[in-house]
Amino acid sequence: MATTTPPQDQTRPADKRAPGRLGNVIFKGISTTSGVMILVTLAAVAIFLLYRAWPALVANASAFEEVNFIGGNLWEWVAPLIFGTVLASVIALVVAVPLSIGIALFISHYAPRRLAQLLGYMIDLLAAIPSVIVGLWGSSWLMPLLDPVFTWLTNTLGFIPLFADYTPPARNITTGGLVLAIMIVPIITATIREVFLQTPRLHEEASLALGSTRWEMIRQAVLPFGRSGIISASMLGLGRALGETMAILLILSPGYSINLNLLEAGQHNTIAANIALHFPESSGIAVDALIASGLILFALTFGVNLLARWIINRRAEFSGAN
């Protein structure tokens, strides 16, 4: 014990004379502060939203009477919006996930190596296009294209409530969901592609050596290995779809009902699009209510993203890829 103390005492003055000590302290301080700023920012987002949303959260139905777009109390008003948000995102996921798995497989296992990188860039390019432009494209190019398909659906399968009552133009939740799907395909594809590329080479070769076809190899080696990656990628896509605003705002004709009439216009709306629609012209308690719905959206996406990242990180420890 006595012998270990003196060397410590000697290093202290040596440290003080070390070149750049002040610089080190300042630089480390700035870096650490920046890191902590991230935590502070996230906390601030939650706190400021909560602070402004509080009056609406505790108000009763009569407080909203003068606001024309809110009927009943806050929760009655928000419930259809949450439903619409989730419905649009689920439609988007149902379309985007199988498509993304296909694209990721094509890039990772089917396309020639040299071509694969270029193809990856092309899909990434889709992610770079601003959502307002995707919305413009959706409402002017995609909607007329979907019109005959929806007409056919409602004529032949209209007896199922799901497909009933379609009237053009296609300003319904399905079109919105399809456009969301196009917007989340790049993020899902990118994540799945990374996981597929990490499949142990030996697993794949072992499968092929047993005489498997390429598809059998993918089913035996690639898909089981990538399962958690596919799940977390889908959740990342879900998080993105839940918060997407402009595409929905430009396409959907809004409504406040809870039903599954996927092809009928004027039935659903999403939280984000609803905020963008009403916020600029609102004042007083209406603003508070919109911010409260934003807070709910924040909590929803935060939870989904946290879960997705948690799955990815848990997996990363085992893969040996890091």
173-202 residues in contact with another protein (CB under 8 A) are 182, 185, 189
- Residues 241 and 186: beta-carbon distance below 8 Å: no
Exactly one of 10, 26, 205, 210 binds another protein (CB under 8 A); that residue is 26
Q: Binding to another protein by residue 68, rule CB under 8 A?
A: no
User: Per this entry, what is the length of the chain?
Assistant: 322
Q: Binding to another protein by residue 94, rule CB under 8 A?
A: no
Q: Binding to another protein by residue 70, rule CB under 8 A?
A: no
For the CA atoms of 63, 65, 67, 69, what is the dihedral angle to 10 degrees?
A: 120
Q: Which stretch binds another protein (CB under 8 A): 6-14, 59-67, 202-210, 235-243?
A: 235-243
Total residues in contact with another protein, by rule CB under 8 A: 93
Q: Which stretch binds another protein (CB under 8 A): 4-12, 75-83, 251-259, 296-304?
A: 296-304
Residue nearer to another protein on the CB measure, 101 or 261: 101
- Residues 235 and 138: beta-carbon distance below 8 Å: no
Q: Binding to another protein by residue 117, rule CB under 8 A?
A: no
Taking Cα atoms as reference points, which of 109, 137, 284, 279 lies closest to residue 197? 109
Strands of 215-275, DSSP E: none
Q: Binding to another protein by residue 58, rule CB under 8 A?
A: no
- Residues 321 and 259: beta-carbon distance below 8 Å: no
Residue nearer to another protein on the CB measure, 10 or 31: 31
Helices 285-319, 271-278: crossing angle, 10 deg rounding = 140
Q: Binding to another protein by residue 320, rule CB under 8 A?
A: no
Alpha-carbon distance of 261 to 166, in angstroms, equals 9
Q: Binding to another protein by residue 132, rule CB under 8 A?
A: yes
- Residues 172 and 267: beta-carbon distance below 8 Å: yes
Question: Which parts of 74-93 interact with another protein (CB under 8 A)?
Answer: none
Exactly one of 79, 122, 157, 258 binds another protein (CB under 8 A); that residue is 122
Helix, strand or coil, per DSSP, at residue 218:
helix
- Residues 181 and 92: beta-carbon distance below 8 Å: yes
Exactly one of 32, 155, 156, 257 binds another protein (CB under 8 A); that residue is 32
Q: In angstroms, what is the minimal distance from the CB of 295 to another protein?
A: 8
Q: Binding to another protein by residue 205, rule CB under 8 A?
A: no
Question: Which parts of 150-169 interact with another protein (CB under 8 A)?
Answer: none
Alpha-carbon distance of 285 to 307, in angstroms, equals 33
